[in-house]
Amino acid sequence: MTRGGRDKSRDEPERRCIVTAQVQPRAGLVRFVVSPEGVVVPDLAAKLPGRGIWVTADRAILTQAARKGLFARAARAPVTVPDDLADMVESGLARRVVETVSLARKAGRAVAGFEKVKAWLAAGRARVLLQASDGSERGKGKLWTPEGGRWFGCLTAAELGLAFGRDSVIHAALGAGGLSMRVVEDAQKLSSLRAKDGERIAGKDTKSA
């Protein structure tokens, strides 16, 4: 099992974090590249050209990489690290999660609203449960993590609402499929960046996962 509670797959590509020196699946890391101008740039889709520099998806570790000059060491060249690098990664991941949930909604693979989400959970259609971080804990506690699936509470009601064209959304669910897998990967990283000490904003069904 890797940092963040993810199960390690033998077939999953692995990379080494430049801070912890731990080798782990790429899904738990953020890729960076150095632009032609020598600026460190987050590559959240892991598709930009250039040599990848990998850092564990954790705010403290990202900050450490910037402060200790580890990006320059990994690049073997002088680089400029934006002061708000961790914030750039966080906002970028949040945007990716919202956009992917929106795509899932348009494809008929996502629903919002307590009753609709509850119905999907009861019918076994839900694979991922998303609940707003600023929603009522009492209300959120009435729903459950999908069997064999995942739960995330890393988005605000306003952010989750953007995915459904509403001002705010507290409860949402995604069905199985590639879009859901993409949400899980990005939401796991976002949860690691946004989690405060002792706070739980991501989880999975431990009965069968």
pLDDT, one tens digit for every residue, the chain (209 residues): 344 444 444 567 899 999 999 999 998 999 999 999 999 999 999 999 999 999 999 999 999 999 999 999 999 999 999 999 999 999 999 999 999 999 999 999 999 999 999 999 999 999 999 999 999 999 999 999 999 999 999 999 999 999 999 999 999 999 999 999 999 999 999 999 998 765 667 777 655 43
- What domains, with CATH codes, occur in the chain? 14-83 (3.30.1230.10), 88-204 (3.30.1330.30)
Task: Provide the 10 A C-beta neighbour count for residue 40.
Answer: 22
CA distance 32 to 48: 9
- First-residue to last-residue Cα distance in the chain: 12
Reported pTM: 0.89
CA distance 18 to 3: 15
Which whole-number Å values give the CA distances from 62 to 2, 147, 156, 176, in the listed order?
A: 17, 33, 23, 31
